[in-house]
Each structure stands twice: as structure tokens, then as C-alpha cells.
């Protein structure tokens, strides 16, 4: 594990990653979906909404994978720690992180052997499929058995800042693509911070949704 503490200020690159996919009502001008990655095969976005499923249960975020290609794309969502997930949270007066105290796992890029295995798993229908020009949304908890809604809403803060980490691997059966957070790329580093205006919008996870969970 790696522990870091640093000051991050808003950048123009961070603003460029925001695209309008579905507007919200009222005075909120931010788009509902915040784009964190744009690749050859897919876009990856995170909702600026927080989710609940049951009383005294985890809080969740929603991650949407949009297939940009003309082929079905397989996304590997089989492991709890090998998806894009919320790694840290804090409060800020501006829509960007201030002082950050964060730990994460250092991840190596996918190897040639693992790329071949990923393509084989695609052929064997072991990945979650996204049809051409369609999307899937998965939910990932980040409070480990605690519902922190009261904590988030009681501070009188302007923004909740969620720092993303993890990895996401995908393939169309011919080529592969992956996202790794954090990364040494400056634009990707700024894009992984999701600013949620407070008070937050809370929704229930729809029934039969895809929830990535940790299994014993």
C-alpha cells in the first residue's frame, strides 16, 4: 500500500472531462454523469448522485460504461477490488479536492499474458457484456457496512469530493483496454476526483441492478 498527502488544485483539464449527458433540474448546473475516462472502446462515467440500498447499509456510487464501438465489449467486473471504486472522500468549498490523505494499491498495467486470458474469457462469455453503442451501470459500495448519509449532510459543506481508484479491464475480443487509477497521467489524475454538490441527491438502487460486492 502507498500513503500520500498532497494539495490538489482545480485545473483546466478537469473542466474538459465534464460532458453533458443528462441534465439535472433546478439550480444544479452540473451534468448528472461525470466523465472519468474516454477510450477507444468505451467511455466511463460516474453519477453525481449517491445511492442507498437498505437501512444501515453501505452508501454506493454508480459507474456507467458506454460502449463506443460496433462490437460487443466485455467488461471484467468479477473482482471487488478490480473495478473503478471510491477510494477516499472528503469535503471542500470548491469542486476540487483540497488536502488529501489517501492510501491505494500500486497496480501494474495488464500483461500480455493477461490480455490473452481476458480475450479468452470474452470468447467463453465470462465477462459482463455491453452491446454496441449501449451502456451498463454498476454500483459499488464505499462505506463498508456503514450508512454515512447523516455525516455527509450534517457538516454544512459545499462539496463532497470522492477520489476514485482501482482498475477496469475490457475487450471487444480483438483488442483490450484498461483504466488504472491513480495514474501518472495528469489529465487522468484530475479526472478521478468527483465533486458532488451538497446537499447531495440520494436515490435507491433500482431492483435487479448490477452491484459489485465482496464475496468471502
The string of pLDDT tens digits covering residues 88-129 is: 999 999 998 887 777 777 788 899 999 999 999 999 999 999
Instruction: For the chain, report the end-to-end CA distance as a whole number of angstroms.
Output: 21
Q: What is the mean pLDDT of residues 160-187?
A: 88
Output the pLDDT for position 184.
55
For the ranges 10-14, 27-31, 205-209, the maximum mean pLDDT occurs at: 205-209
**Spatial separation of the C-alpha atoms in residues 53 and 51, rounded to whole Å:** 7
* pLDDT at residue 188 is higher than 80: no
Is it the case that residue 11 has pLDDT exceeding 80?
A: no
3-state SS, residue 186: helix
Q: How far apart are CA 191 and CA 187, in angstroms?
A: 6
Q: Is the pTM of this model over 0.85?
A: no
Helix, strand, coil fractions of the chain, as percent rounded to 5: 15, 40, 45
Domain spans of the chain? Answer: 2-206
Radius of gyration of the chain (CA): 17
Amino acid at each position: 500500500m502507498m500513503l500520500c498527502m498532497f494539495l490538489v488544485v482545480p485545473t483546466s483539464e478537469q473542466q474538459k472531462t465534464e460532458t453533458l449527458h443528462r441534465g439535472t433540474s433546478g439550480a444544479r448546473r452540473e451534468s448528472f454523469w461525470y466523465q472519468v475516462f474516454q477510450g477507444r472502446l468505451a467511455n466511463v462515467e460516474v453519477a453525481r448522485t449517491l445511492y442507498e440500498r437498505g437501512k444501515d447499509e453501505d452508501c454506493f456510487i454508480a459507474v456507467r460504461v458506454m460502449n463506443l464501438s460496433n462490437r460487443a465489449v466485455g467488461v471484467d467486473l468479477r473482482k471487488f477490488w478490480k473495478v473503478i471504486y471510491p477510494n477516499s472522500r472528503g469535503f471542500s468549498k470548491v469542486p476540487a479536492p483540497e488536502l488529501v490523505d489517501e492510501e491505494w494499491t500500486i497496480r501494474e498495467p495488464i500483461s500480455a499474458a493477461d490480455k490473452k486470458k481476458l480475450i479468452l474469457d470474452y470468447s467463453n462469455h465470462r465477462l459482463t457484456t455491453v452491446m454496441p453503442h449501449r451502456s451498463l451501470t454498476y454500483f459499488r459500495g464505499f462505506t463498508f457496512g456503514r450508512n454515512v448519509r447523516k455525516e455527509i449532510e450534517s457538516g454544512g459543506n459545499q462539496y463532497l469530493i470522492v477520489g476514485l481508484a482501482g482498475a477496469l479491464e475490457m475487450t471487444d475480443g480483438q483488442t483490450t483496454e484498461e483504466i488504472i487509477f491513480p495514474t501518472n497521467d495528469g489529465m487522468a489524475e484530475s479526472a478521478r476526483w468527483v465533486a458532488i454538490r451538497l446537499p447531495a441527491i440520494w436515490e435507491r438502487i433500482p431492483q435487479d441492478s448490477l452491484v459489485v460486492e465482496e464475496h468471502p
